């Protein structure tokens, strides 16, 4: 795997300190800038949507919202239910 096309991450920030979380997201951004697509499942919705080109918000295992990360961050329903208002 010297030239991957996709990096799949499952909860990369689970159980890490806020400082380490910020560093991980910085590295994820750096990897994405190289052209590698990233598919990430993340509980920290605010941080993940902040860097996402496209986001999917699941509710009870089903896709409820799909849009750009910024659009989802601005959606009042998403904000209320998942981002603390």
**pLDDT, position 84:** 86
Domains of the chain are: 6-82 (3.40.50.300)
SS3 of residue 71 by DSSP: helix
Token readout for 44 is 């920290």
pLDDT over 90, % of the chain: 85
Q: Are the C-beta atoms of 31 and 38 separated by less than 8 Å? A: yes
Q: Name the band, by pLDDT with cuts 50, 70 and 90, for residue 34.
A: very high
User: pTM for the complete prediction?
Assistant: 0.83
């Amino acid at each position: 795997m010297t030239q991957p096309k996709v990096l799949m991450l499952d909860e990369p920030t689970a159980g890490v300190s806020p400082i380490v979380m910020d560093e991980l997201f910085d590295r994820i951004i750096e990897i994405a800038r190289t052209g590698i697509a990233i598919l990430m499942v993340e509980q920290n919705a605010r941080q993940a949507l902040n860097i996402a080109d496209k986001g999917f918000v699941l509710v009870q295992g089903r896709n409820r919202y799909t849009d750009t990360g910024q659009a989802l961050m601005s959606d009042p329903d998403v904000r209320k239910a998942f981002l603390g208002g």
